[in-house]
């Protein structure tokens, strides 16, 4: 499994825990519209990913995330070599 697929699987697991087992997510999923996430849910999502991958995601980066793919790419770059 590629690093990208591993990260996507982690995100999918987190979202299914909160949205239900039938919730579908892809790299193209819009964080706010498709995931129906308000600002509190988005921050919970980000904090969970920071803990999972032992990274810090600055607010500036969060503001630039539009899709799940954006988040996956960011995490993949920050965890390269780990």
> Which residues are catalytic, by number?
38
Q: Are the C-beta atoms of 64 and 47 separated by less than 8 Å?
A: no
Element (H, E) at 19: helix 3-19
- Classify burial at 77, counting beta carbons within 10 Å of its beta carbon; exposed 0-12, middle 13-18, buried 19 or more: exposed
**In terms of Cα–Cα distance, which of 2, 24, 22, 1 is closest to 11?**
24
């Amino acid at each position: 499994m590629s690093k990208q697929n591993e990260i996507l699987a982690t995100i999918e697991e987190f979202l299914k825990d909160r949205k239900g087992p039938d919730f579908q997510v892809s790299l193209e999923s819009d964080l706010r519209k498709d995931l129906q996430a308000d600002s509190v849910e988005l921050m919970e999502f980000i904090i969970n990913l920071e803990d999972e991958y032992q990274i810090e995601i600055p607010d500036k980066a969060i503001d630039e995330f539009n899709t799940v793919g954006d988040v996956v790419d960011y995490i993949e770059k920050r965890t390269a070599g780990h």
